[in-house]
Amino acid sequence: MRLRLALTAASLVMSSAALVACGDDEPAVCGSAEQLQSSFDELKDIDLTETNGLDELKSELETIDGDLDQLTNDAKSEFSSQVDAVTSSFEALGASVQAATADPTADTLAVAKTALSEFSTAVEALISDVESTC
């Protein structure tokens, strides 16, 4: 339940950092950042209190992983430090979700909540920086 609240809060934070629409002449990084934003927004619909909530979260993290790969390809040279921060926090989030799935206790969920918050902060910073080029 706490992780559900964290997901909702993180989704609201990410929604408030909406991307500026990119035109046809905009860099590819704009589209890949928008796709990452969209996938991240999908997390808010996941109810971790349901039997398959953690499985749904893991599935959405796989989608986000693909979005991060694309964004990394499009943004690596210009935004390498931000991409590295997002990648690192995403890996920590994935590990914490696996731990929470294997042993869903208050402690493992708290670690996942913290990892989600750190991931949210890193994604928000990257998207904000990318927006300036769109």
Q: For position 126, what pLDDT does the model report?
A: 92
CB 94 within 8 Å of CB 86: no
Domain-embedded: residue 47: yes
DSSP state, 18? P
Q: What is the pTM assigned to this prediction?
A: 0.72
> Phi and psi at residue 68, in whole multiples of 5°?
-65, -40
Alpha helices in the chain (DSSP H): 2-16, 28-42, 53-75, 80-102, 106-131
Residue at 104 is within a domain: yes
Mean pLDDT per block of 10 residues along the chain (134 residues) reads 45 40 73 91 79 86 93 88 93 94 90 91 91 87
Each residue of 28-66: pLDDT tens digit?
999 999 999 999 888 777 887 788 888 888 899 999 999
Rounded-to-integer distance, Cα 75 and Cα 78, Å: 6
Residue 42, in any domain of the structure: yes
Rounded Cα distance, 64 and 38, in Å = 9
Whose CA is closest to 79, among 131, 8, 3, 11? 131
Domain membership of residue 51 (yes or no) is yes
In a domain, 58, yes or no: yes
- 19 occurs within a structural domain: no
| 98's tokens | 């696996």
Q: Is residue 21 part of a domain?
A: no
How many domains does the structure of the chain reveal? 1
Identify the domain containing residue 55 by its residue range.
2-14+27-131
